[in-house]
Amino acid sequence: MSASPSRRMPALISGGACLALLAGCGSSSDSGGDANGQTPVSSSAVPVVASTNVYGDIVKRIGGDHVEVTSIISDPSQDPHSYEANTQNQLTLSKAKVVIENGGGYDDFVDKMLKSGGNTSAEVINAVEVSGKTAPKGGELNEHVWYDFPTVARVADRIAAALSKADPADAASFTQNAETFKTGLQSLEAKEAQIKKEHSGESVAITEPVPLYVIEASGLVNKTPEEFSEAIEEGDDVSPKVLQETLGLFSGKEVQALVYNEQTSGPQTERTESAARSAGVPVVPVTETLPQGKDYLGWMTANVDALASALDK
């Protein structure tokens, strides 16, 4: 939905804290593919910058040891909407040959740095643009396209093409790795299709639009008042009337599950979660950024499996 400066813990980082951020969760170049770690790589590796560790991990799956990936945001407490970049980010971005951003207003700091840093040679992949998605008439774009598996497949192809351009000698490897990655995405789509087969038309509630693409692909109906999820996403207070309407979804047994963004914490979302649990409605936690120690496919598999399990109850 809306991507204006938002909600959770502000990620306003400067000075020594900036350096700590990059040391702790910046460069991702280990052979194991952890988008949060750092190990030495070949000096010929393609330098890539991703706005978040979600895209950083995808690049690592495709580029392997031939890429050196820096994920600017990998801490769940950091909100890309309100993140303020620093000079170390700027320096790293100025050296990148490939840049991957989400777009759609989600990580505008990347575009701002590219414009101010003078790096006009890097190939920039914008996931929202790749998706072809636009805002519905009278509505707002749901920019969380990494929860849309067909979009992620197209992004994978774009990444492979960009890496092949930067490193033609390893193009065959990039293409093969992208195909392998997309096979995993097909398995996720098959899981969504199975949920749709077994639970099509069933209703769920959400706290934010983060998981909506999975919910829609699974044939489920989001019953949450739009005013509720938009207010939570924007960091605004939910009106008492809308809050009561939302809580009534659980007491009235109108939904089969609550899909809860656990990176958002506040009295109204906590009250919503509590109401669901009190009514015996299963709660499915999701996150926006890649959890520590997870890869993209494993993370999304756990999310979809948890949704299926909740509905089966």
Per-residue pLDDT of the chain (313 residues; tens, 9 = 90+): 444 333 443 333 333 333 333 333 333 333 334 444 443 455 689 999 999 999 999 999 999 999 999 999 987 666 676 777 788 888 899 999 999 999 999 999 999 888 887 677 899 999 999 999 998 888 889 999 999 999 999 999 999 999 999 999 999 999 999 999 999 999 999 999 999 999 999 999 999 999 999 999 999 999 999 999 999 988 899 999 999 999 999 999 999 999 999 887 789 999 999 999 999 999 999 999 999 889 999 999 999 999 999 999 8
End-to-end CA separation in angstroms for the chain: 29
Residue 116 CA to its chain's centroid (Å) = 25
What is the fold of 15-185?
Answer: Rossmann fold (3.40.50)
CATH 3.40.50.1980 boundaries in the chain: 15-185, 189-312
The DSSP letter of residue 221 is E
- Beta pairing, strands 27-28 & 67-73: antiparallel
What span, in angstroms and rounded, lies between the C-alpha atoms of 203 and 255? 5
Looking at domain 189-312, does it have CATH number 3.40.50.2300?
no
Confidence at residue 188, expressed as pLDDT on a 0 to 100 scale = 98
Count of residues making up the chain:
313
Token pair 């939302």: residue = 246
Report how far apart, in Å, the C-alpha atoms of 249 and of each of 105, 232, 242 are: 31, 17, 11
Q: What are the backbone dihedrals phi and psi of residue 282, each rounded to the nearest 5 degrees, phi first?
A: -60, 140
Name the region of 15 (left: φ>0; alpha: ψ -120 to 50; beta: rest): left
